Amino acid sequence: MFKLINSETVPLTTELVERHLNMEASPTERDLDPSRLKFLHEKSEEGMLITFHWAIAKLGSRTLRVNGQHSSTMLHELNGAFPKDLKVHLDTYQVETPSDLATLFRQFDSRKSGRTAGDVSGAYQNLHTNLAGIGKPIAKLAVEGISYFLKHVEGTMNLSGDDQYSLFDDVRWHPFIQWMGEVHNVKTPELRVVPVAAAMFNTFSINQGEGRIFWEKVARGGDEYDENAPTTMLDNFLKTAKDADEKRRLGLKPGNYYQACIYAWNGYRDGKTLKDIRYRVDKGLLSASH
């Protein structure tokens, strides 16, 4: 097993960085990942670095670095020009066997303790009391739909990864997020697709009243008296697309879901019935009718 024998928080200095970087590495240490280094450099440039958590282990007469390879490498590459007043929390462990090193390694950034996209989304959502009653998976879907629309359809914003959840802070989108909490239920799994949420956002933004009516009908299975109504046709299409084999047969990509939704919406706004749902994007994405 391993035992903590010392724990201290110390100022980040060039000397400390060089000592930690040049220390003998534990054989359990991860390979140096260029993408991880790039990520840390970007955090440094953005002024988003926080206290580093480094660790070393004593095995017999050897002192080994067991955590902090990437951050110390990144800081070394800054040539001493790293942010001021940062700290390092440095833990020292005693281990008895090489196997104990592997056990210790597993305690850092373990898979179960990592922050998921859902955790980050929930953190932003929880900052707004008017969004508190909305199920977190649905609120997350709503924001991802907004992000998809702004990035892939409108081309006005390019937020990726966890950054997209900062859209919760824009109060303009709150009515849509709240409505998504109303229209989604356990009986609407076919609507829980990000490009579908993007189409819902677009139509809701264009014509909130009709957007509500259209999607609430889709959520109920469409028009029970008209199998060719756009709402019925779209719901059947999305339900079919939930089947993995059908999805492969149709060759569905994210843009196809969005296109299918807007095609049905345009038919609905034009008062038409549909023979099928057209979802190909060869000629670009459709514009949604008002």
pLDDT tens per residue, range 16-35: 999 999 999 998 888 899 99
How many other CB atoms are found less than 10 A from the CB of residue 242? 12
Where are the domain boundaries for CATH 3.90.1530 in the chain? 2-112
Q: Which pLDDT score is estimated for 224?
A: 87
CATH classification of 2-112 is 3.30.420, yes or no? Answer: no
* Average pLDDT for 87-107: 93
**Percent of the chain clearing pLDDT 70 (strictly above):** 100
Q: Which pLDDT score is estimated for 268?
A: 98
Q: Which pLDDT score is estimated for 277?
A: 97
Q: Which two tokens stand for residue 283?
A: 């000629």
The rounded distance, in Å, linking the Cα atoms of 218 and 201 is 15
How many other CB atoms are found less than 10 A from the CB of residue 163? 11
The rounded distance, in Å, linking the Cα atoms of 139 and 123 is 11
Q: Which two tokens stand for residue 6?
A: 């010392």
Q: Which pLDDT score is estimated for 186?
A: 65
Q: Is the dihedral angle over the CA atoms 11, 16, 20, 23 positive or is it negative?
A: negative
* Adjacent-strand bridge partners of 10: 88
pLDDT tens per residue, range 123-158: 999 999 999 999 999 999 999 999 999 999 999 998
Length of the chain: 290
The rounded distance, in Å, linking the Cα atoms of 85 and 63 is 27
Instruction: Name the residue among 206, 203, 198 with its Cα closest to residue 150.
Output: 198
Evaluate whether 129 touches 108 at the Cβ level (below 8 Å): no
pLDDT tens per residue, range 186-212: 688 999 999 999 999 999 999 999 999
In DSSP notation, 187-254 reads T-GGG--HHHHHHHHHHHHH-HHHHHHHHHHHHTTS-TT-TTSHHHHHHHHHHHHTSHHHHHHHT--H
Rounded (10°) angle between helices 254-269 and 194-206: 30
| Beta-sheet strand order (sheet of 52-59) | 2-11, 87-95, 52-59, 62-67
The conformational region for residue 155 under phi > 0 = left, psi -120 to 50 = alpha, else beta, is: left
Instruction: Name the residue among 188, 206, 3 with its Cα closest to residue 94.
Output: 3
Residue 59 has φ and ψ, to the nearest 5°, of -125, 105
**Burial level of 229, CB count in 10 A (0-12/13-18/19+)?**
buried
Instruction: Name the residue among 58, 52, 50, 78 with its Cα closest to residue 4.
Output: 58
165 DSSP 8-state letter? G
pTM of the model: 0.82
58 DSSP 8-state letter? E
Q: Say yes or no to pLDDT of 54 above 70.
A: yes
